[in-house]
Structure 1
């Protein structure tokens, strides 16, 4: 269970060097054998050398799984003109696995470049052999990187490059000092500085997006592109103003600054809450609305004989608490079909759950085999016990080992938390969860019981099997077996755009201005993204209030909001990230005001002076003092 939110803090770290840099290494082992007692055995040396290569990332496009988040989110239309775009990488050492300058191995080798719509270069996919100097056109400059020297590379390897005019690159490319300040590591820790998360590497951009335009950001590799022992400068190789500088792009994304309603807080504040639960719109028919109120949807139903009709179905995500409970196993799914004689329609919800549980377990062959074998051994044990009872009536106690194998118990716990359930069984109609909506629900315990009984029915064929299952079904359910499980589904751009979404649930209605006590905080049983834009969250007990916010590691850096023509400022924050006073600000120095390029080195100096910070001002301090505040949005259940 995670630590209380009040004790969680974000730790910023200047850099995180890998244990070994990329390159070839040799391990030489030497052993000498000699004896002092005999001259007949001559001294002899044995030695062996082992070579190995440490391959850090270099040219290939980054796998999407390697990226924790980008900001602003790809495709987002929100107003982010005061934000420094950034990318957060899951591998905390990646920016320091190489260097921009061979004279200083502590420097990162990656940087973010922001291009406006009129400046955007066209990415090209080429082969590795095509970046050799002799194969590059004269007007394009690219530093020779000794590409043939690294193991694991082949001339056919593909990479993505962009060609940027020198006169533009000179204006937007960060200096060596800026590159060092724009990359840092952050991780969540508790009050004792114990790590609560894996270290994440974040790279900031030195340029502000332009309002009303589309911006494209490229993560470029700058390995050994800077020269000089101290204060190295980018090596343009004598390029002229109109020449192109070739850069390797590891990933890129685009966004636009056109609509303030597409920010994190505004998206959530305008979320669709009508209705509050998963249900279709009213049809103004009392008989129909009675079903719709419980989340039912009419679906096509084909009978075995070929007849077709329409039947009711509802998912396990119900609009209220289910009073039913499956007390005994059933022989087939048909035993769970219900018929409403009043409207002439079937309810196939629980039959579908039972059949789904059976099919999911059969699909998981290792579990199906282990469950079948365990049930067979249990049946044999029960039979032996019965024989003992019949023939040994004076035996005082008969033992029977009924312990469930761990794998089987875990499978049934997963089913209880609705894992492995296809999405269309959870949300059978898109109207139940439209885009930009949040819906609360109860988990229907009877639906889950039917699901689990279907899973337990493996090998259940004869009436005797049914009787035996009734005796042996003592599956060790999770500790929440007798607990109420509720939750919510969120379908929003927030889920995809801000992966560091923090969720807190409370057992009481808490108004926006009130403080939510930790004693009312609920345990999260499951929090999972079902798709890029859909989040499922399950709580132990009844949830009545939900708070959504961003983890500290996901908060972006930037300057104070400003209007065109205004002096750009940044309010001072302490090294712990807290706002000092709204009045204490610095003027943000710009290398090029028209292009929105910030002089990061000078800005760091001003922040250091404004805070009277005597210690070295590194990328960690720069990140801590430029973070922007994150809103917390609260939702209270209307009907649960």
Structure 2
């Protein structure tokens, strides 16, 4: 199930709670009325029973919002929380005997060495879940059996060791501090409830990492546990309404700030996509120059069976494109091989791009089919329009058709067949065959010239062909242009073509590159080469390319290979020119590899940790101490960073109930924060919203400045 972000605005107001007018349960309305008259008095009483329902043993899927944290990371300073789309849900029921207006939901965090079994909740009927006779060693929630013994609906529950529960369970006076409500500002059409845990995912001892389960549990029937009195039975059962599992690392090398910091540190020596060997003074100059430009040495097999070394680069250059290929269309990849006769080496980059473009086009059956259909549409539309536009005699029309057909080479296949028949008789040498092919292509009439002659003879405008093309807004045209635009944005390109050698982008690295327009032209030529038989087809290809969303020449790319991508899949990577954000295309290449292609070269690039707008936890100073950036309580509307004060609060041992287990003493922490803020800005009204405001933790970010 995909979780939805309930609050989609950057500004929210935080409230203590939203209490429903009536909580779930049975209610009675009694009306008493006395009627008196001369002869008699009569009481006319009326009693009406009714029932208020609310979720109890399961929650609707659309009530469940974002969980944090998820997956893997350094979370020892993070307080887990869960967002619920129903803002009144935590207060819809009584958790105890109805004396205190407390939330009936809590977020319980259990470490893997504390689990019973694998820690995963089990699914049973409500009847069996609350039946003490089925599991004598497990204490079920103390709920009236009459409300559950006939209920066969499924629900999930988890069993926790009583000894563990006594160490990690929250107390009655702490429950109200751990739930609050967010409402969007300035409009109030979006709101959500937030449930915060009383524990951070601290890894035990010297272990590098541990798994944790976060359970959204019902407190109903656990009044005695909330008051510090635990059952004598070895296990206690809780109804689980939501749960998730994640991994917390002790070492800071898996935190967002550490991963992002390592990436930026690695870019200081050389941020560009190229081999480090270009700086080797002992290497020959020609090799160092190629490596500096971003090329990689690859093994190449020629068509004649020879094996040689060649140079290759993907669409990303480490330097500004030093030489662009002529903007002409090529018939095959061999024409794009570049040979250095002085060094005896091939540059296969453009040829590889052409071959990839052709393979990608053939692999997309829809594109290949629609490309051929589109060419026929263009040809038929233009030729029929030329013939039907002029009141010519029959012979003149026939001559017009002949001239157009010669220009468009509709009999090309027949002439090739005739020519090949002649070759079989003469048995020419291969070099003569190649010479013939070159002559045929060189001497063929330019289709545009033939069309111009026809138009000039009839006194028409030479721009008419473009006008007719523009009238064609077919599905085929849309599909063809759309796919080619995606190729221009480096989508659908296999990773080895983007990065030809693994040393260009080792693990935990990030590299910049400039887009090689010559490589891109070659790839598009390859994609458009399928089904090409004539110069007319090439002419139509030229028109198709004119319809693409060609980007500006200075497109800059950033490619990242890091656990940052897999551990923080929603990381925000943005480029800026001063304060203006640069448009960019984001491409997921592999689990840990992401490519960002900017429309123009930004001055700065930021990597911001995803946080679903707000999260809770502590900062860590250079000495490893946990701190809280205090926020003013005078500002009721806060953004995700809060309204910070200049004085941090340092977490002390007295703020922990059990520091080794990561269990906070919520009551004392709240008291200490309230006293500290009173000292700074005077006493204020404290509630769960004020407490949550202090625990807001801004997302980490990294800044890359380009020169």
TM-score norm. by structure 2 comes to 0.66
The alignment partner of 1:352 has SS state of: helix
1:459 to 504, 513, 531: 531
Shift of 1:442: 0.6
Q: What CA deviation, in whole Å up to 9, does each residue of 1:547-601 have, x standing for no partner?
A: 33335646642246489999x7644212531222316778774444564422335
Shift of 1:613: 7.6
1:400 to 465, 468, 478: 468
Match of 1:49 in 2: none
Question: 1:560/1:487 Cα in 2 relative to 1: closer, same or farther (>3 Å)?
Answer: closer
CA RMSD in angstroms comes to: 4.7
1:269 to 261, 273, 277: 261
Shift of 1:235: 11
Match of 1:296 in 2: 295
Shift of 1:166: 0.8
Taking the aligned partners of 1:584 and 1:616, their CA distance within structure 2 comes to: 17
Match of 1:476 in 2: 547
1:599 correspondence with 2:665: yes
1:409–1:476: 8 Å Cα contact kept in structure 2? yes
Taking the aligned partners of 2:331 and 2:624, their CA distance within structure 1 comes to: 76
Shift of 1:421: 1.4
The alignment partner of 2:584 has SS state of: strand
The alignment partner of 1:278 has SS state of: coil
2:561 to 491, 506, 519: 491
Question: 1:298/1:436 Cα in 2 relative to 1: closer, same or farther (>3 Å)?
Answer: same
1:582 correspondence with 2:582: no
Q: What CA deviation, in whole Å up to 9, does each residue of 1:235-270 have, x standing for no partner?
A: 99984153354675732122232x345443343333
Match of 1:523 in 2: 582
1:432 correspondence with 2:470: no
| Bigger mean CA deviation after superposition, 331-340 or 603-612 | 603-612
Match of 1:549 in 2: 608
How many residues align? The count is 560
Match of 1:335 in 2: 335
1:139 to 128, 137, 140: 137
Query: Please, which runs of 5 or more residues in structure 2 have no aligned partner?
Result: 1-8, 19-23, 25-53, 390-451
1:279–1:296: 8 Å Cα contact kept in structure 2? yes
1:253 correspondence with 2:246: yes
Taking the aligned partners of 2:275 and 2:602, their CA distance within structure 1 comes to: 22
Question: 1:583/1:358 Cα in 2 relative to 1: closer, same or farther (>3 Å)?
Answer: closer
1:422 to 473, 484, 494: 494
Taking the aligned partners of 1:447 and 1:187, their CA distance within structure 2 comes to: 51
Question: 1:88/1:128 Cα in 2 relative to 1: closer, same or farther (>3 Å)?
Answer: closer
Alignment of 1:100-499 (within 5 A): 107=103, 109=105, 111-115=107-111, 118-123=113-118, 128-129=123-124, 132-133=128-129, 137-143=135-141, 163-175=159-171, 178=174, 181-182=177-178, 203-208=195-200, 209=202, 212-213=206-207, 214-223=209-218, 225-227=219-221, 239-240=231-232, 242-243=234-235, 245=237, 250-257=243-250, 259-271=251-263, 272-273=266-267, 274-282=269-277, 284-304=283-303, 307-322=306-321, 323-324=323-324, 327-384=327-384, 390=454, 393-396=458-461, 398=464, 399-402=467-470, 405-470=477-542, 472-478=543-549, 481-499=551-569
Shift of 1:635: 2.2
2:121–2:158: 8 Å Cα contact kept in structure 1? no
Taking the aligned partners of 1:253 and 1:92, their CA distance within structure 2 comes to: 22
1:177–1:601: 8 Å Cα contact kept in structure 2? yes
Question: 1:592/1:467 Cα in 2 relative to 1: closer, same or farther (>3 Å)?
Answer: closer
Q: What CA deviation, in whole Å up to 9, does each residue of 1:208-234 have, x standing for no partner?
A: 3257544432121424x4238xx8966
Q: What CA deviation, in whole Å up to 9, does each residue of 1:180-207 have, x standing for no partner?
A: 6545677997xx6699xx9898654312
Structure number, greater radius of gyration: 2
Shift of 1:69: 6.8
Shift of 1:625: 1.9
Match of 1:572 in 2: 630
2:509–2:562: 8 Å Cα contact kept in structure 1? yes
Match of 2:427 in 1: none
Question: 1:466/1:562 Cα in 2 relative to 1: closer, same or farther (>3 Å)?
Answer: closer
Question: 1:583/1:202 Cα in 2 relative to 1: closer, same or farther (>3 Å)?
Answer: closer
TM-score norm. by structure 1 comes to 0.72
1:84 to 78, 82, 88: 78
Taking the aligned partners of 2:362 and 2:103, their CA distance within structure 1 comes to: 54
Question: 1:468/1:245 Cα in 2 relative to 1: closer, same or farther (>3 Å)?
Answer: closer
Q: Which has the larger helix fraction? A: 2
Query: Please, which runs of 5 or more residues in structure 1 have no aligned partner?
Result: 1-7, 18-22, 24-53, 508-516
| Bigger mean CA deviation after superposition, 162-171 or 622-631 | 622-631
1:268–1:494: 8 Å Cα contact kept in structure 2? yes
Taking the aligned partners of 2:253 and 2:384, their CA distance within structure 1 comes to: 70
Taking the aligned partners of 2:468 and 2:382, their CA distance within structure 1 comes to: 8
Q: What CA deviation, in whole Å up to 9, does each residue of 1:301-334 have, x standing for no partner?
A: 3445655444322111211222415522222222
Taking the aligned partners of 1:246 and 1:178, their CA distance within structure 2 comes to: 18
Shift of 1:439: 0.9
Question: 1:505/1:108 Cα in 2 relative to 1: closer, same or farther (>3 Å)?
Answer: farther
